Amino acid sequence: MKINHNIGPSGVNPYKRQMSTPDAAANAANKKADKVEISSTAKEMQQLSHLSVQRQQKVEELKLQVENGMYKINPKETAKGILAFYQKKD
């Protein structure tokens, strides 16, 4: 019985021989470059910067109310918001 062993560098990585051919280099050069496309929804979100200004104004108003002790929490609205949040996750 004869057992052939691949001894030496040829048996270590058989794929290396395939990559060293000129055709493989030409195929690698012909591959398309990576491309990123931003969806129309994402573009719309980028243009909604006026909402961030309105949000910042609301945050400032709430900070002043909390600092002055004028901020009142509505427990029913808070509970509704919590329930709505967890019902959306399911």
The reported pLDDT for the residue numbered 10 is 55
pTM for this structure? Answer: 0.36
User: 69: burial class by Cβ within 10 Å (0-12, 13-18, 19+)?
Assistant: exposed
| CA angle centred on 75, ends 74 and 76, rounded to 5° | 95
Instruction: Give me 44's structure tokens.
Output: 């719309």
Tokens representing residue 86 in the block: 């967890």
pLDDT digits (tens, 9 = 90+) for 23-82: 655 666 667 788 889 898 888 877 776 677 888 899 999 999 999 999 999 999 999 999
Which residues contact residue 6 at a Cβ distance below 8 angstroms, ignoring those fewer than 6 apart?
Answer: 12
**What is the tally of helices (H) and strands (E) in the chain?**
5, 0
